[in-house]
Amino acid sequence: MLETGRQVLAHVDMDAFYAAVERLDRPQLAGVPIIVGGGKRGVVSAASYEARRFGVRSAMPMYEARSRCPQGVFLPPRMERYHQVSRKVMKVLAGFSPLLEPVSVDEAYLDLSGTERLWGPPRQAGLAIKQAVLTATGLTCSVGIAPVRFLAKIASDRDKPDGLTVVDDLEVFLATVSLKEVPGVGARARQRLGQMGLTRLVEIRELGGERLERLMGVFGLRLWELAWGRDESGVNPQREVKSISNELTLEADTGNREVLAAYLSGLSQKVARRLRRKGLCGRTVTLKLKHRDHRLVTRSTTLAQATDAAGDIFTAARGLLDAYGAPGPFRLIGVGLSHLSAPGQGQAELFGAEKTGRDKALGRAEDAIVARFGEKAITRATQIPASEAPLDQEASKGHNKVKPK
């Protein structure tokens, strides 16, 4: 059975994310306006919905926010904590589809096409996503689901907070979209189009693509396409992982080899688990040590055979530790694996590229099952883009600074 239904794309956006995390960590702030911001730029990073009622908005100078909402609680951003929660959110989302594209710490696109058998029709899937995020994090999100990417984004913003908007009829929904909502249409463009009496997206159809191009350059052409509900961008799943590593800042600096080895053992297990979760094996083991004076050293060795076993990783890392002469003390220790590949042919056959003769939608549903339930194997290893990479202990990097031994 070949089902070539239209695309089902979801945009998931956490509600007032930084402020919501602060409230989560400080339940006594229930109902209180929370404004997160300050720092170098001195502007509001996030405002709770209570604070928004006083006219506080993102990117507003903090002094203005203070004068509009003097009773608010003003907090500095804690990015590490937000990234930690973000990782939980993305993990939940990855359980719904392997085609996940995080676009910021609190926002992601998901391609749900072909997952209907798993999650039901779009509205049901949207509710399930919201519930799963709430259960895992205690936070609400807003979801937009549409056949094209830019409308999923607009839809997720329609019913905030804790919203769900499903675009069933493209043409009906398009008619409701104002130019203000369209990503990329700036104030100047809006002004120019406004002077022609155009405020809604569908109204610019009458201008024609060429005229729009003359008016606005290449973006004019894109806007013309959007006005007809055409948007080929889809969801771009995350980049391939090139290395998997875990590291740990020690509670107390130490040069004691046995203590360091014990840490290495735990880290090796973590790395091995993550490898298996992604269905990968690696050949190059890298030990990372940070001296008390923050001098960073790495030492690597390449195994005869790729592995995803904690014992192999630990043995290699321990060997590197023993071979490194400096006594320390060290403040951080880490272990990583690179030169990753899919493991033995068996699993590759099950989930690999040889899906010939299989219905694509079914393949995707399988990927989703594996992503949700499977510890075993997924072919497409993924990670959060480097810009959103977690700032704390767990790191997947596109490139590994490996010093040849």
Which of the residues 106 through 135 are near Mg ion (CB under 5 A)?
106
Tokens of 337: 């694996």
Q: How far apart are CA 264 and CA 287, in angstroms?
A: 9
Angle between helices 17-25 and 79-94 (to 10 degrees): 100
Residue among 106 and 312 whose Cβ is closer to Mg ion: 106
For residues 90 and 96, is the Cβ–Cβ distance under 8 A?
no
Of the residues 22, 50, 101, 107, only one is catalytic, namely 107
Q: Build a one-symbol-per-residue string for 81-110: x at contacts with Mg ion by CB under 5 A, - elsewhere.
A: -------------------------x----
CB of 58 to Mg ion, least distance (A): 9
Residue among 17 and 263 whose Cβ is closer to Mg ion: 17
Tell me which residue of 162, 139, 184 sits closest to 22, measured CA to CA.
139
Helix (H, G, I), strand (E, B) or coil at 202: helix
The residue behind tokens 């961008």 is: 233
Q: How far apart are CA 371 and CA 404, in angstroms?
A: 34
CB of 106 to Mg ion, least distance (A): 4
How many residues of this chain bind Mg ion (CB under 5 A)? Answer: 4
Q: Is 80 a catalytic residue?
A: no
CB of 14 to Mg ion, least distance (A): 5
Q: How far apart are CA 147 and CA 129, in angstroms?
A: 17
Residue in 8, 9, 13, 377 binding Mg ion, rule: CB under 5 A: 13
Residue among 115 and 142 whose Cβ is closer to Mg ion: 142
Tell me which residue of 232, 231, 271 sits closest to 248, measured CA to CA.
271
Residue among 107 and 394 whose Cβ is closer to Mg ion: 107
CB of 138 to Mg ion, least distance (A): 16
Residue among 116 and 181 whose Cβ is closer to Mg ion: 181
Q: What are phi and psi of 59, to 5 degrees?
A: 75, 0
Q: What is the DSSP string of 280-334?
A: -EEEEEEEEEEETT--EEEEEEEEEEEE--HHHHHHHHHHHHHH------EEEEE
The residue behind tokens 């220790």 is: 333
Under the criterion CB under 5 A, does residue 388 sit at the interface with Mg ion? no
Residue among 142 and 338 whose Cβ is closer to Mg ion: 142
Residue among 19 and 193 whose Cβ is closer to Mg ion: 19
> Cα torsion for 212, 215, 221, 225, to the nearest 10°?
-40
Q: How far apart are CA 246 and CA 274, in angstroms?
A: 10
Tokens of 14: 């956490």
CB of 49 to Mg ion, least distance (A): 12
Q: How far apart are CA 2 and CA 362, in angstroms?
A: 9
Angle between helices 209-216 and 187-195 (to 10 degrees): 130
CB of 46 to Mg ion, least distance (A): 8
Q: What are phi and psi of 251, to 5 degrees?
A: -65, -40
Tokens of 307: 């592995």
Count the residues in the chain: 405
List contacts with Mg ion (CB under 5 A): 13-14, 17, 106
Catalytic residues: 107
